[in-house]
Amino acid sequence: MMKAYKNMSREELLKLQKELEAAYEQAKSEGLKLDMSRGKPSAEQLDLSKDMLDVVSSESNCKTREGIECRNYGEMEGIPAARKLMADMMGTVPEKVIVCGNASLNVMFDTISRSMTHGVCGSTPWCKLDKVKFLCPVPGYDRHFSITEYFGIEMINIPMSESGPDMDLVEKYVSEDAAVKGIWCVPKYSNPQGVCYSDETVRRMASLKPAAEDFRIYWDNAYAVHHLYEEKEKQVQLLDIISECEKCGNPDMVFEFASTSKVSFPGGGISAIAASERNLQYIKKSMTIMTIGYDKINQLRHARYFKDIEGLNAHMMKHAASIRPKFQAVLKALNEELGSLEIATWIEPKGGYFISFDAMEGCAKKIVEKCKEAGVIMTGAGSSYPYKKDPKDSNIRIAPTFPTSEELAKATAIFVLCVKLVSVEKLLEEK
């Protein structure tokens, strides 16, 4: 059991600093090039889906069971089997789903862009308004915040707890300010904390009473099936926001998004949007101008390969088996090396792609910088916050999936070293 740093004397800290600096110089001299910055599947994970590349071939036909020729134009909403698969993934029904291209990010971008130029279901286009605001639970997904920033939408931080965003605050903003048009949510195994919204949180979301008629919940169910554990009791179940909204008399209040980027291939998956009939009608008015249809051959590949949601869930257990040891290795190192030092906290996720790490205030940027100097790329400090500004400069997102286990061990060791070093420096400044 190591001593908590804050209880060390100045002399002890100076001695420790010297040792850590020596170790750091040693690490730097190894000239490593490691990357824990992005939530990317590993090569091993990509191989899990390789047989998908064979299910549509010159030998097979390219028709759906209904006789739709996937190679030709048309079928803007997606082929029925793909709509069903994506609906099951999101916990909704195929009629509420449109299957899109390879990136749900693109669908989210299009949804905001459409609101800017054409409003939402007939509301005033946002580009005609003086001010549009979005609520952003933090820490959150950097690319969400990039979209709203790009369109000049003001972002308001909402603190996260273990059960989801601070709903008192959300309710206050949404019901009092008609400029608040949306909230970004990653409701299950959130990026980066792995938080799952509790039933109460989902129900409070669904029963919001927005001041703005065109307020929508942007429900990015990116990790709907991305459990880390096989045991059912460790797999979190999320309430279906769409039916909860219906129950509350708010059927149109949500857009849900999902993709197979981390199920099949990030570079060649399929994505989807789910919403009420009224919302979909409005979306289709613009979509029919934008495209004649998304890639149906790839939709057919996914439908044939996974067959159904049971097939897809079984496939996800292979991913879990591949990445769980990596999460566990990082968590073990954090526990062993930092567990008793009282210089950081972190969350053990049950799914998703990240470990969210909180250093002492004012240390995150320095830690990431130090890692970089030693050849370990972490996600930029602050990126999990709107405008890349972490008010406490403490949050760091760890993405353990992409490196091999060996690389990960090295990278984590350096990360831990940098955390210690920067923390000691901070404590010395204060003494």
Contacting positions for a second copy (CB under 8 A)? 38, 40-41, 43, 46, 49-51, 53-54, 56-58, 60, 62, 69-75, 101-103, 105-106, 109-110, 113, 116-118, 125, 127-128, 143, 146-147, 150-151, 261, 265-268, 286, 289-298
Cβ 282 vs Cβ 265: under 8 Å:
no
Least distance in Å: CB of 132 to a second copy? 12
Task: List C-alpha distances in Å: 415 to 284, 389, 390.
Answer: 47, 21, 19
Asked if residue 215 lies in contact with residue 179, where contact means CB atoms within 8 angstroms, the answer is no
Nearest residue (CB) to a second copy, 4 versus 297: 297
Residue among 240, 291, 280 nearest 96 (CA): 280
- Shortest CB 200 distance to a second copy, Å: 34
DSSP letters spanning 72-111? SS--TT--HHHHHHHHHHHTS-GGGEEEESS-HHHHHHHH
Q: Is 79 or 274 the residue whose CB approaches a second copy more closely?
A: 79
Strands (E), 141-185: 154-161, 164-165, 180-185
Shortest Å distance, C-beta 45 to a second copy: 9
Specify the residue, 191 or 250, whose C-beta has the smaller distance to a second copy: 191
Pairing of strands 216-220, 154-161: unpaired
Closer to a second copy by Cβ: residue 204 or 397: 397
Please, which residue, 143 or 203, has the CB nearer to a second copy? 143
Q: To the nearest whole angstrom, how small is the minimum distance from the Cβ of residue 128 to a second copy?
A: 8
**Least Å from the CB of residue 340 to a second copy:** 37
Give me the torsion for CA of 157, 163, 169, 172, rounded to 10°: 130
Tracing tokens 């061990």 back to the chain, one arrives at 409
CB of 58 to a second copy, least distance (A): 4
Residue placing its CB nearer to a second copy in the complex, 198 or 264: 264
Give the shortest CB-153-to-a second copy separation in angstroms.
11
Structure tokens at 155: 């972002």
Q: What is the side-by-side strand order in the sheet with 254-259? A: 97-100, 271-274, 254-259, 216-220, 180-185, 133-138, 154-161, 164-165
Nearer to a second copy, 241 or 287 (CB): 287
- The answer to whether the beta carbons of residues 348 and 11 sit under 8 Å apart is no
Nearest-angstrom CA–CA distance, 273 and 87: 9
Q: How far is the CB of 336 from a second copy (least distance, A)?
A: 31
Residue 207 phi, psi dihedral angles, 5° rounding? -105, 20
**Of 24 and 145, which CB lies nearer to a second copy in the complex structure?**
145
Of 361, 404, 353, 360, the residue nearest 379 (C-alpha)? 353
